[in-house]
Amino acid sequence: MHPIVAITIARLKEFIRRPESVFWVYLFPVLMVGVLGVAFRNPAAETYDVDIIESEAAESMLTHFSSLPQLKPRIVSEEEARARLRTGKTLLVISATSASLQDEDFELEFLLDPTRPGSLSARNLVDDHLQRELGRIDVFASRDETFAEPGGRYVDFLVPGLLAMGLMGGGLWGVGFAIVDMRIRKLLKRLMATPMKRSHFLMGMMASRLVFMIPQIAILLLFSYWMFGVKIFGNPFSLALVVLVGAIEFSVIGLLVAARAQTLESVSGLMNMVMLPMYTLCGIFFSYERFPEIVHPLIRMLPLTPLIDALRAIMLDGDSIFTLGPELLVMGFWCVVPFALAMVVFRWND
Amino acid sequence: MTAAIRVKNLVKTYRGKPPVAAVRGINFQIEVGQCYGVLGPNGAGKTTTIEILEGLLAATSGEVEVLGLNWSDHADAIRQRIGVSLQETRLSERLSVGETLQLFRSFYPTGIDADEAMRRVSLEAKKSAWVKTLSGGQKQRLAVATALVGDPELIFLDEPTTGLDPSSRRQMWEIIESFGRHEKTVLLTTHYMEEAERLCDRVAIFDEGKIIAEGTPAELIRSLGAEHVIDFTIDRDTNDFRDEAILSIPTVEKMEQDGGLFHLTVGQPHVVLPELISSLASQGISLSSLTTRHASLEDVFVSLTGKHLLEPA
């Protein structure tokens, strides 16, 4: 048997005989899609908790609101209303200036945090409704139609991010951690005492990683399709190619992380140093557009960002791989440079 | 005879503050077909030396030739012809014995098949058992089997029996003895003198990075000048004891004291014993224990260094 094949088969056997690693690699991302997809599904009808400060007008406001099913009003003291607003239990506090809604100088005062999701919607809903109830005539009629086609939902945004996260974790654990573990067990040194070629060893480690990756990607995509109808709008071969480049990229980064580490603590520290910033910065769970524009070019130079951007472009926008030159270039950089560096500093014999 | 290994003025100093001189200029030669023992306490430089010979460590200075080749020009050729068992390699726990050996076999262009390697270390019955289920002795035999799959001419075994129970140790000895019948050259390190005496054609005794004695086990024991040892203890404070009378007994070579225990190196115990007892009696001392035995490599080591091979941990 060729050494590359023998190493690949041995690694695959070790992997599938370790149920916990099968869980983390194959099932954990699926659970993430399931949980986050359900938690952030587009709500059928959003409801708003609003507080009305006790007054004589409060009761009559309450009767006007009874025709608004999405509004959950309650009458409370001013003190309690402020406390509830501060702790996020209510979105909006309404206070009336006079006893009756029919008074000439009747005014409403809204207390809200406009940055809190839903607060402004609640304010506009209450304002519009009362204005109309009390006689405002709209200039023209309008009506809403709900749009929730696959492709535009949070779960559609999330799945490419989780695919990329899986490739990152897989490369760092499957190659980086695995090599350090072999070094600690003196197995790497033992292999170096055989005629095994270093290139065969590295290719075997990478090849086994690429083989584990196929079910990892397939399970996540199939589950997302089955559970949420997440579709691939672009060419599946383009997607496969980007996935392949991403897997190689993070295997190589794993190799660099493992190049010198001699304890599990040091490799875990290095892996966290690599992964934690990218978890938050690169747009797995939310777009990096939320960060100040000035740092976007930096974020786009990180290894994970171009992978996520390319996966989203293919899956959501249906882009062709030929439009993804800049992303592939950055990923190519992260394949070549860490590899060269790793080969210079790698500890083979101790 | 051709040399399987030739070592000349080998020095290894580990960088650091302060630098550690692990091997300080050693010379030895191993002939083809010999079983050669490197004996010495922990920290004597045994593992450093063997790892330089295995091509895993670079020497600081000196010359090393393995199977007539040097590491700098012929690393791959040497690796194809040697087999190695390191101290404390932990093979993959979730591969079976057979799978582990097939993996190692794949690295060698020629060799024996995995089943034959298992047979040579009596692990056939464990072919499909995972490594994690093996006992210490079985794991060690598997480590030796990984050294055999390439059908090497020269086998390095670094402390192959350390930590094994007596019956596993004897089983390993039988395996190592079988290499001799296959005309393999073996280099083994150990800190068990009885292992070296039983297995090795020649022995080098290492201490503090140097070879302090080298020869066949019989030669080394003969170098003590006497081949028997009488160990005894006495029934009173050892400070009261005068040794001139004892040292003047015919064939007594020397006397060493180790706590309350006296070691007397003698040529002819049957001559010494009656004289010893009467000499002690004339000082009013009686023996509280007495044993006689053949001198061992341990005695050689003690007489050369004043230390024991196996220092209590």
| Predicted confidence (pLDDT) per residue in B86-104, tens digit | 988 899 999 999 999 999 9
Cβ separation A187–B91 shorter than 8 A:
yes
Q: What is the DSSP string of B204-237?
A: EEEETTEEEEEE-HHHHHHTTS-SEEEEEEESS-
Tokens standing for residue A136:
């405002």
Question: Where residue A335 falls among pLDDT bands split at 50, 70, 90?
Answer: very high
How much is the pLDDT for A254?
A: 94
Judge whether B53 and B64 are in contact, CB under 8 Å: yes
What is residue A71's predicted lDDT score, i.e. its pLDDT? 86
Q: Which of B57, B80, B84 sits opposite A349 (nearest CB)?
A: B57
A8-31 pLDDT, tens digit per residue, is 999 999 999 988 888 888 888 889
Q: What is the mean pLDDT of chain A?
A: 88
User: What does the block give as tokens for B145?
Assistant: 């089997």
Q: Mean pLDDT score of chain B, rounded to an integer?
A: 88
- Look at residue B313 in the predicted model and tell me its pLDDT: 40
Mean pLDDT in residue range B14-21: 88
Task: Give residue A163's pLDDT.
Answer: 93
Q: What is the pLDDT of residues B25-34, one digit of tens each?
A: 999 999 999 9
Is B69 an interface residue toward A (CB < 8 Å)?
no
Using DSSP bridges, classify how beta strands B252-258 and B154-158 pair: parallel, antiparallel or unpaired: unpaired
Q: Which residue has the tokens 């115990």?
A: B269
Q: Does B129 touch chain A (CB under 8 A)?
A: no
Q: Please determine, for residue A154, whether its predicted confidence score (pLDDT) is greater than 90.
A: no
Contact A190 B84 (CB under 8 A): yes
What's the pLDDT score for residue B310? 63
pLDDT exceeds 70 at position B195: yes
pLDDT value, residue A48: 86
Is the pTM here over 0.90, yes or no? no
Residue A146 has pLDDT above 80, yes or no: no
Cβ of A7 within 8 Å of Cβ of B108? The answer is no
Distances in whole angstroms, Cα of residue B66 to Cα of each of A68, A294, B184: 91, 62, 14
Calculate the alpha carbon distances from B40 to A325, B34, B294, B296, B297 in Å: 63, 19, 20, 14, 10
Tens digit of each residue's pLDDT (9 = 90 or more) over A116-135 = 888 888 888 888 888 888 88
Q: Flag whether pLDDT at A42 surpasses 70.
A: no
Read off the pLDDT band of B301 (50, 70, 90).
Answer: confident
Q: In the prediction, which pLDDT does B295 show?
A: 83
**Cα(B31)–Cα(B2) distance, integer angstroms:** 6
pLDDT of A320 reads 86
Summarised one tens digit per residue, pLDDT across range B225-282 is 778 888 888 887 766 666 777 888 888 888 888 777 888 888 888 888 888 888 888 8
Q: CA nearest A186 in B: which residue?
A: B89
Residues of B in contact with A190 (CB under 8 A): 84, 86, 89, 91, 146
On chain B, the residues whose CB falls within 8 A of the CB of A189 are 56, 86, 89
d(CA B310, CA B302): 11
Q: Is A326 helix (H, G, I), strand (E, B) or coil?
A: helix
Whether residues B106 and A186 touch (CB distance < 8 A) is answered with no
Mean pLDDT value across residues A142-169: 84
| CA B116 vs CA B110, B120, B175, B180: distances in Å | 13, 6, 13, 17
CB contact under 8 A, A10 and B80: no
**Cβ pair B94:A6 closer than 8 A:** no
d(Cα B212, Cα B205) in Å, to the nearest integer? 6
